Amino acid sequence: MEKFPALDAGLTDFKYPFEVQELRLKEQGHELKMAFMDVKPSAAASGRSVLLLHGKNFSGAYWDRTAKELSGRGFRVILPDQIGFGKSSKPTDIQYSFQMMAAHTKALLDHLGLEKAAVVAHSMGGMVGTRFALMYPA
């Protein structure tokens, strides 16, 4: 039987498919870090971006194959780990909400200088994406 190493809460030893960066955020009196991957097009750039939102109990790394395919078709691909998931901060004493996650996602896109992106979401990410669209209509 194959053995898997134990992982810490920050997934320090879990290898992500692309370089992980961090965005610093303030939320409910806490200094937080939102981990994300910003994958540049590996083919002729289309000038379009795609935001991939993970579900509950997942991380941006979940989208590995999808991100590679989109990048290969000329898209810039953004893969955040929402606060509380993956390599992002996991505070235990804040009120989590889809509105908070949508606001953090908007802060990430602003940080990256992206005015718009196509949104693809899985499970809980669909709720975050819906809240994002309601809060920040194009």
| 107 domain residue, yes or no | yes
Cβ neighbours, 10 Å, residue 10: 14
Q: 95 lies in a domain? A: yes
Q: Tell me the pLDDT tens digit for each residue of 61-114.
A: 999 999 999 999 999 999 999 999 999 999 999 999 999 999 999 999 999 999
Taking residues 8-33, report their average pLDDT: 96
Q: What 3-state class would DSSP assign to 37?
A: strand
Tally of domains in the chain = 1
Establish if 12 belongs to a structural domain: no
Which residues span the domain enclosing 123?
Answer: 21-135
Does residue 7 lie in a domain region? no
Q: What is the pTM of this model?
A: 0.94
4 belongs to a structural domain: no
Q: Is residue 32 part of a domain?
A: yes
Task: CATH number of the domain at 122, please.
Answer: 3.40.50.1820
In a domain, 16, yes or no: no
